[in-house]
């Protein structure tokens, strides 16, 4: 049978039922896939096999999922029907077509070994049914948000992705202030309507990459990939403002309290969630209707370790100073620097691509230096004159090197290294950091924050009484 063939995968607890599909017709779908007269493999979000048809198992076996040509399809590097072949088939005598379809987190690989169009249509129908069941099992029936069971299923993969790519991930824990009073005053039906509208409003204020989960009652969790605690705090404040700014059904405007915590890199997700919950508690203690932030996270440690890569500049949230235009231009410096590195190291190298990337970077540096100087002058920066002179020296050296490269007196590598190290990395890490304190209060800090607290409480508001 298929389960015996998959073996170790199912021993680890990866089955369709264990990812949340509990409906009675699931057994029927599983059986249909197993006996389907085509090679079909159903995989979870991490690419582990959930089901293999008998045709797949007998002709290829589970090991086929690791073939390079199939991995390209599963990883999204090849779209539509793509030619695959067995490793070691130098003569190309066993060429086949395969494609992958993903619906609601379930991925289906189909290998065309001469099947009829009717069979291919049936595979698509099965994939749609499995995806629909998966989505139904993962969403909250009342609000349409993801449910807590789905959070438990995906959080480990999000943590692993964060560690693998050294990208931060944060949680925002929130609940509705005085929700019990809403239920007592307007009735539970009105309370349910508030929750449904709350989910819709939060969805309009968050990004496509963010995931909203109903945790229970009026409590919700927002999972924010590639986001450190600073950016997550800004997102939480945006959400709180949008919710407070419009009526939710006949109940009128409501307010929410939010707690933010970034994954630290060396904690369980239960501890991480506990820190977000504790931040939420502090937000409610401090008067409700605001955001509290636990200012700890892996992004700070990674920023301290990374600096300049030999081939790529890696932006970290800890490089932000708090002034929106400067931070945006600094991120663009990193992007343009990376484009120049890629153009300069490409094989074969295109002189036109290098020239375009170089001109774009230099033009942005000129604009950024001018804008930064205007902002620092407006802020009355004490070392403004020295900072402006440093800009002038860097630009003069960059233009001198560019001319030397054009005349053949210097190599392109010297110019690229100077721009990446001296202009982008070292100037940001050293000279620019000296003015960061000017913008330390860009996000307002509650003056009523308890002494010794490790997280600022943002968006102070009038107190509404005891903590829920």
Domains, the chain: 2-138 (3.30.450), 146-301+451-458 (3.30.70.270), 323-439 (1.20.120.50)
259 and 172 in contact (C-beta within 8 Å)?
yes
Q: What is the DSSP string of 78-102?
A: S-SSEEE--TT-TT-TT-EEEEEEE
pLDDT at 401 over 80: yes
pLDDT, residue 14, reads: 39
Q: Which of 9, 214, 37, 182 is nearest to 115 (CA)?
A: 37
Q: What is each CA distance from 112 to 39, 99, 106, 184, in whole angstroms?
A: 7, 8, 19, 60
For range 48-67, the mean pLDDT: 83
Q: Which of 190, 257, 313 is nearest to 460 (CA)?
A: 257
Q: Using CA atoms, how far apart are residues 85 and 90, in angstroms rounded to an integer?
A: 9
Task: Please name which of 44, 52, 83 lies closest in space to residue 67, comparing C-alpha atoms.
Answer: 83
Count CB-CB contacts under 10 A for residue 453.
15
pLDDT classification of 312: cutoffs 50, 70, 90? low
pTM value surpassing 0.85: no
Query: For the CA atoms of 295, 296, 299, 304, what is the dihedral angle to 10 degrees?
Result: 100
Q: Would the pLDDT of 93 be above 50?
A: no
How far is the C-alpha of 381 from the C-alpha of 141, rounded, in Å? 54
pLDDT in tens, 130-139: 556 556 678 8
SS3 39: coil
**23 close to 14: Cβ distance less than 8 angstroms:** no
Are the beta carbons of 75 and 61 closer than 8 angstroms? Answer: no
Q: What angle do CA 448, 454, 455 make, to 5 degrees?
A: 60
Name the band, by pLDDT with cuts 50, 70 and 90, for residue 207: confident
The span from the first CA to the last CA of the chain, in angstroms, equals: 54
Residue 20: predicted pLDDT = 41
How many CB atoms neighbour CB 419 within 10 A? 25
């Amino acid at each position: 049978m298929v389960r015996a063939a998959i073996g170790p995968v199912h021993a680890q607890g990866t089955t369709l039922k264990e990812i949340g599909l509990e409906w009675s017709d699931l057994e029927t779908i599983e059986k249909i896939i197993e006996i389907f007269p085509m090679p079909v493999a159903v995989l979870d979000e991490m690419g582990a096999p959930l089901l293999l048809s008998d045709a797949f198992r007998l002709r290829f076996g589970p090991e086929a999922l690791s073939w390079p040509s199939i991995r390209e399809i599963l990883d999204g590097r090849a779209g539509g029907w793509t030619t695959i072949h067995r490793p070691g088939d130098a003569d190309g005598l066993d060429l086949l077509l395969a494609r992958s379809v993903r619906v609601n987190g379930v991925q289906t690989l189909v290998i065309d070994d001469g099947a009829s169009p009717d069979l291919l249509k049936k595979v698509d129908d099965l994939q749609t049914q499995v995806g629909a069941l998966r989505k139904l099992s993962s969403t909250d029936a009342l609000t349409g948000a993801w449910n807590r069971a789905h959070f438990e299923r995906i959080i480990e993969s999000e943590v692993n992705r964060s560690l693998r790519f050294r990208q931060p991930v944060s949680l925002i824990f929130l609940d509705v202030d005085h929700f019990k009073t809403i239920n007592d005053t307007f009735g539970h039906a009105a309370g349910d309507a508030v929750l449904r509208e709350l989910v819709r409003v939060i969805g309009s204020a968050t990004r496509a990459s963010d995931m909203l989960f109903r945790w229970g009652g009026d409590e919700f969790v927002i999972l924010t990939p590639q986001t450190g605690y600073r950016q997550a705090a800004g997102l939480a404040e945006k959400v709180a403002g949008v919710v407070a700014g419009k009526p939710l059904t006949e109940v009128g405007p409501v307010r929410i309290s939010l707690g933010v915590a970034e994954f630290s890199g060396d904690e369980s997700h239960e501890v991480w969630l506990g820190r977000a919950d504790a931040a939420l508690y502090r937000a409610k203690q401090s008067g409700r209707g605001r955001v509290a932030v636990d200012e700890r996270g892996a992004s700070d440690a990674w920023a301290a370790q990374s600096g300049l890569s030999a081939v790529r500049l890696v932006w970290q949230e800890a490089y932000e100073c708090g002034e929106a235009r400067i931070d945006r231009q600094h991120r663009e410096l990193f992007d343009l620097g990376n484009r120049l590195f890629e153009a300069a190291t490409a094989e074969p190298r295109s002189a036109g691509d290098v020239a375009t990337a170089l001109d774009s970077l230099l033009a942005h540096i000129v604009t950024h230096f001018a804008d930064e100087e205007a902002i620092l002058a407006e802020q009355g920066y004490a070392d403004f004159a020295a900072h402006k002179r440093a800009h002038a020296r860097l630009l003069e050296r960059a233009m001198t090197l560019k001319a030397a490269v054009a005349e053949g007196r210097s190599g392109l590598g010297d110019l690229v290294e100077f721009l990446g190290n001296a202009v982008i990395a070292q100037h940001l890490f050293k000279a620019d950091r000296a003015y960061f304190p000017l913008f330390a209060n860009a996000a307002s800090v509650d003056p009523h924050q308890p002494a010794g607290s490790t997280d600022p409480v943002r968006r102070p508001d009038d107190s509404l009484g005891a903590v829920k």
